[in-house]
Amino acid sequence: MADFDKLVVSFLVDEIVGGFFISVPPGHVACVYDRGLGVLKRVWGPGLHLKIPFWQIAKLFNAQILEYTIRHGFDLSQKESLGDEPITATTKDNKTISIEGSVLFKLDKANAPELWENIGDNFISKVVRPYSRSRISSAFSQFDHTEIGPERTQIETTIKNELNKLFEDKGLIIENVLFSEVKIVDTGSKQPVQTILSTPATA
């Protein structure tokens, strides 16, 4: 499945019988924009629901856990793709490192209307990517390069907690942060010179 199809915000809403009904599939929720009242606070779960045709517009949100992948070669040509290129950071002992891994997140169903109303469709580029880059880079800067392997779990937990604090009013929940590879890179060529963490991340 393409990244575009896995986004929390789905751009395709299954409306039937002239727009009187909203069909919400399993694993999704729907929000409704009313032309008079704005985005309604109610969230519609899986099933068939009534709405006012032409006056109300529904949008589907994927409520399943999604993986935001940070890896070499990730295609950023689509700014809302679920991922990023390796993140570069500087350790406490002044080593330049390249970080790969995953951020597992999901929609906070109760706050889906706030996500749609306050952030809109481009929440990956507006919120997830810049916040993840910032928190990950900051967390690794607190450790010497020799501490990263032994302190991996602590680093992952710290970033998860910090991101959840940042996202708590934005309709997103971070389930886990998992690192798969961290390498020291040459500051001039950006080529890896030493791998300091390279074990498969597990949930």
Determine, yes or no, domain membership for 106.
yes
For residue 169, what pLDDT is reported?
A: 87
pLDDT bucket at 10, cuts 50 / 70 / 90:
low
For residue 7, what pLDDT is reported?
A: 53
Residues 51, 111, single domain; the answer is no
Under a CB-based contact definition with an 8 Å cutoff, are residues 56 and 8 in contact? no
* % residues pLDDT > 90 (the chain): 68
CA distance linking residue 154 with residue 156, whole number of Å: 5
Residues 103, 157, single domain; the answer is yes
Residues 76, 158, single domain; the answer is yes
Q: Is the pLDDT of residue 126 over 60?
A: yes
Determine, yes or no, domain membership for 95.
yes
Instruction: State mean pLDDT over 17-39.
Output: 89
Residues 83, 163, single domain; the answer is yes
Q: What's the structural domain count of the chain?
A: 2
Residues 55, 142, single domain; the answer is no
Q: Is the pLDDT of residue 71 over 90?
A: yes
Determine, yes or no, domain membership for 87.
yes
Of 62, 78, 93, the position where a domain reaches its end is 62
Lowest average pLDDT, out of 79-88, 120-129, 173-182, goes to: 120-129
Determine, yes or no, domain membership for 203.
no
Determine, yes or no, domain membership for 202.
no
CA distance linking residue 109 with residue 46, whole number of Å: 12
pLDDT bucket at 202, cuts 50 / 70 / 90:
very low
Q: Is the pLDDT of residue 150 over 90?
A: yes
Find, among 138, 157, 169, the residue nearest to 201 by Cα.
157
Residues 117, 83, single domain; the answer is yes
In which region does residue 172 sit, left (phi positive, over 0), alpha (psi from -120 to 50) or beta (all else)?
Answer: beta
Residues 50, 143, single domain; the answer is no
Please report how many Cα atoms fall inside a 13 Å half-sphere around the Cα of residue 27, on the Cβ side.
Answer: 9
pLDDT bucket at 163, cuts 50 / 70 / 90:
very high
Residues 96, 131, single domain; the answer is yes
R_g of the chain computed on alpha carbons:
20
Determine, yes or no, domain membership for 94.
yes
Residues 45, 128, single domain; the answer is no
Determine, yes or no, domain membership for 160.
yes
Q: Is the pLDDT of residue 1 over 50?
A: no
**What is the DSSP secondary structure assignment for residue 119, as one 8-state letter?**
I
Lowest average pLDDT, out of 34-38, 71-75, 162-166, 193-197, goes to: 193-197
For residue 18, what pLDDT is reported?
A: 58
pTM above 0.75, yes or no: yes
| Alpha-helical segments (H) within the chain | 3-6, 112-114, 123, 129-140, 152-167
Range of the domain at 8: 3-62
